[in-house]
Amino acid sequence: MFNDLSWTQVARLVLTSRRLDELEEQELAPSGEVAYQFSAKGHELAQVLLGLHLTHPRDGVSVYYRSRPLLLTLGWSVQEALASGLAREGSASGGRDAGVMFNLPSRGRATVLPTAGGVGTQYTPAAGWAQAIRYYREVLEQEEWQGAIAVACGGDGSVASNGFWAALNLVTTRNLPFLFFIEDNGFAISVRSPLQTPGGNIAANLRSYGNLYVLDADGCEPLEAAQAIREAVAYVRQGHGPCLLRLRLVRLMGHTFVDDQAYKSAAEREEEAKRDPLLRLRETFPDLNWQNLEKEVEAEIRTALEKVRLAPDPDPNTACHGVFAPMEPVPERLPETQGPRLSLIEAVRRTLEQEMEQNPRLLVFGEDVGVKGGVHGATARMQKRFGEKRVFDTSLSEEGIMGSAVGLALAGLFPVPEIQFRKYADPATEQINDAGTLRWRTAGHFSVPMVVRIPVGFGKKNADPWHSVSGEAVFAHTIGWMIAYPSNAADAVGLLRAALRGKNPVLFLEHRALLDSPEARRPWPGDEYLLPFGQAACLQEGNSLTVVTWGAMVYRVFEAVQDLHGIEILDLRTIIPWDRERVLDSVRKTGKCLVVHEDTFTVGFGAEILATIASEAFEFLDAPLRRLSMPDCPIPYNAGLREAVLPSPQRIRLAIEELLRY
């Protein structure tokens, strides 16, 4: 596979990476020009060899902070690498993220998926990319995806992470074209590998894992590493299924620039130095023109550094730009009000089906959404209609569901995962957080439009701490997600359709008590009915008090105000963005405001609304700002206990009357 010419290329790339690290360690980190320095010394050879195999333009590779040699092999320039470390214009993230947080749209070879800082987070998005390869090939019949593979690189510490195991399960149960590329240098900062996996050898431990081809090689030995990497990539590319390749490496420097490696003995460090892959490369190929290569590399790096030092810093005014994709205006259209009244869950299903008909990139998945049609019935019969490749069950791993949604979206598909209940989004928190910041931290090179559907809140007949969490405030604090919280079927249709045609990640919250309740039923609002995010509904006009609410509380508020006059009721419909202007206009008119929500009190979303009113409409207020919500307590199982904590129509009415009297 590798002739002399290719080994020259290997040597050049290894030298480039090595020299970049030295430059940073000796000059740029001490001077403070590079704030975070992570050395790849010892990992270069393995990564360069891998990169030279990732030649398919639809390959996708998830990397981590030690992956710069791979980036250089996939087409990243020295200048871009330096600009990223120095946070100058031209940096991969526009200076928003550390220089070792990579991303690279395909330059004819593999796409480098956006790196996140959490160890282990790289795995499930790569599994999503592998799933996308299959989807493009088998459902969309796009030949150009034939032979593409997904790769995830990680250290020996990362094999202890949730993400690693979630991805392992995903790719082996589905037999996806996926390569685990484990760069085992024996240490996770200072912690030795036997604490990450028993005996310290993940390859040995996974030998009997189903659907996994396992290889183990010395990543410092050029010929052995080249042979193992070639074999691993070929195995996956030929469609045999997933492979795990463990490469034994050395980390020649500290974990970062500030780590003095005092936890390694002198003898250990000496041993590591002897295994230096650059040394081994020189010994294996003494006839390469090393002197010349070194000179060329040095000149290239110095020229690039000069240019980067002259490049401007990013404009501070742009620091917050690009968290969201610009929202396209949604055409004004009133909902149709004739016809049979659909339940909220039927409305969701019908909208999903309609959009799936129109958009073949849309796919629906989650626990039990396939054969069963979802535990709430939202996807009933959809698998029959659209097939198992577009509507499918997943293993029980929310990290896996969300991470693969990220990978699918990065590959250009439109995932619509379901999380079974709000509480069970907890294991996916890291992927949700990282998905939200992804557009911003890649300076818009990548984005992950998707709709995550999550049933929330108490049920009509039951509630408990696990299945009845509302929890929108935590999501509202999660950067980069739009949040819909419809209170009726027509709003659900309009918002879901807008979300499915949009360019942003959306959390679509479906209230359990409203899924099949008569009060939330509405006629089908129309095949093209769209509702813009950030537009509250004024459900009742009034001049004496504004009540702001959403979700199931809408109906409790209605019950509370039945025979009262002058109450204006606003249903927010979306939490992010929320309709500040409509709320402020209303309070400027009424002078009084009560927010009613189901989520718990402290730092609930009501606090945000009232703080905004206090700040923007203080001079119009005639009464204290009030909010009624669940107390800071989980929602109980017993019906009496449950009603004791949920805002009841009686308590809402008392709060309103008190404010009216004020």
CB of 120 to ligand TPP, least distance (A): 6
Residue 639: which H helix or E strand, with range? helix 639-645
Q: Cα–Cα distance between 347 and 488 in angstroms, integer?
A: 9
| Residue nearest ligand TPP, CB atom distance | 155
Name the active-site residue from 53, 255, 376, 467.
467
Are 470 and 425 a contacting pair, CB within 8 Å?
Answer: no
> Taking contact as CB under 6 A, which single stretch among the options 77-85, 149-157, 324-332, 556-564 is the one that binds ligand TPP?
149-157
Phi/psi of residue 208, nearest 5 degrees: -100, 10
Give the Å distances, CA to CA, from 627 to 50, 159, 291, 511, 544. Answer: 57, 46, 73, 20, 17
CB of 123 to ligand TPP, least distance (A): 11
> Taking contact as CB under 6 A, which single stretch among the options 150-158, 360-368, 433-441, 548-556 is the one that binds ligand TPP?
150-158
Phi/psi of residue 594, nearest 5 degrees: -125, 130
Which CB atom, from 261 or from 612, has the smaller least distance to ligand TPP?
261
Which CB atom, from 65 or from 485, has the smaller least distance to ligand TPP?
65
| 119 binds ligand TPP, rule: CB under 6 A | yes
Count of beta carbons in the 10 Å neighbourhood of residue 661: 7
| 187 binds ligand TPP, rule: CB under 6 A | yes
Which CB atom, from 188 or from 520, has the smaller least distance to ligand TPP?
188
**For ligand TPP, what does the binding mask look like between residues 600 and 639, x meaning CB under 6 A?**
----------------------------------------
Q: Figure out which of the listed residues 42, 125, 155, 449 binds ligand TPP, where binding follows CB under 6 A.
A: 155
Q: Cα–Cα distance between 352 and 340 in angstroms, integer?
A: 19
CB of 121 to ligand TPP, least distance (A): 7
| 157 binds ligand TPP, rule: CB under 6 A | yes
Cα dihedral 187/188/193/195 (nearest 10): 140
Number of H helices, E strands in the chain: 22, 22
CB of 184 to ligand TPP, least distance (A): 7
**For ligand TPP, what does the binding mask look like between residues 52 and 81, x meaning CB under 6 A?**
--------------x---------------
Which CB atom, from 119 or from 402, has the smaller least distance to ligand TPP?
119
> Taking contact as CB under 6 A, which single stretch among the options 112-120, 143-151, 436-444, 475-483 is the one that binds ligand TPP?
112-120
Closest CA to 415 of 343, 483, 487, 366: 366
What length does the chain have? 662
Which CB atom, from 42 or from 366, has the smaller least distance to ligand TPP?
42
Q: Figure out which of the listed residues 7, 19, 106, 189 binds ligand TPP, where binding follows CB under 6 A.
A: 189
Which CB atom, from 198 or from 412, has the smaller least distance to ligand TPP?
198
Which CB atom, from 188 or from 514, has the smaller least distance to ligand TPP?
188
467 given a catalytic annotation: yes
Are 178 and 152 a contacting pair, CB within 8 Å?
Answer: yes
Q: Cα–Cα distance between 208 and 204 in angstroms, integer?
A: 9
Range 407-446, binding ligand TPP (CB under 6 A): none
Are 515 and 537 a contacting pair, CB within 8 Å?
Answer: no
CB of 495 to ligand TPP, least distance (A): 34
DSSP class per residue in 272-304: HHHT-HHHHHHHH-TTS-HHHHHHHHHHHHHHH
Q: Figure out which of the listed residues 158, 383, 437, 546 binds ligand TPP, where binding follows CB under 6 A.
A: 158
DSSP class per residue in 377-431: STTTTHHHHH-TTTEEE--S-HHHHHHHHHHHHHTT-EEEEE-SSGGGGGGGHHH
Question: With b meaning 16 or more CB within 10 Å and e meaning fewer, what string describes 156-166?
Answer: bbbbbbbbbbb
CB of 70 to ligand TPP, least distance (A): 13
Report CA 586 to chain centroid distance, whole Å.
36
- At position 291, the amino acid (one-letter code) is Q
> Taking contact as CB under 6 A, which single stretch among the options 12-20, 125-133, 182-190, 335-343 is the one that binds ligand TPP?
182-190
* Burial zone of 227 (CB within 10 Å; 0-12 exposed, 13-18 middle, 19+ buried): middle
> Taking contact as CB under 6 A, which single stretch among the options 111-119, 277-285, 398-406, 516-524 is the one that binds ligand TPP?
111-119
Which CB atom, from 73 or from 185, has the smaller least distance to ligand TPP?
185
Question: With b meaning 16 or more CB within 10 Å and e meaning fewer, what string describes 384-394?
Answer: eebeeebbbbb
Phi/psi of residue 315, nearest 5 degrees: -65, 120
Q: Figure out which of the listed residues 188, 363, 463, 560 binds ligand TPP, where binding follows CB under 6 A.
A: 188
Range 251-280, binding ligand TPP (CB under 6 A): 251, 255
Which CB atom, from 58 or from 251, has the smaller least distance to ligand TPP?
251
Residue 190: which H helix or E strand, with range? none
Q: Which pairing describes strands 362-366 and 391-393: parallel, antiparallel, or unpaired?
A: parallel
CB of 156 to ligand TPP, least distance (A): 4
**For ligand TPP, what does the binding mask look like between residues 232 and 251, x meaning CB under 6 A?**
-------------------x
Count of residues touching ligand TPP (by CB under 6 A): 17
Q: Which residues are catalytic?
A: 467
Q: Which residues bind ligand TPP (CB under 6 A)?
A: 66, 117-120, 154-158, 183, 185, 187-189, 251, 255
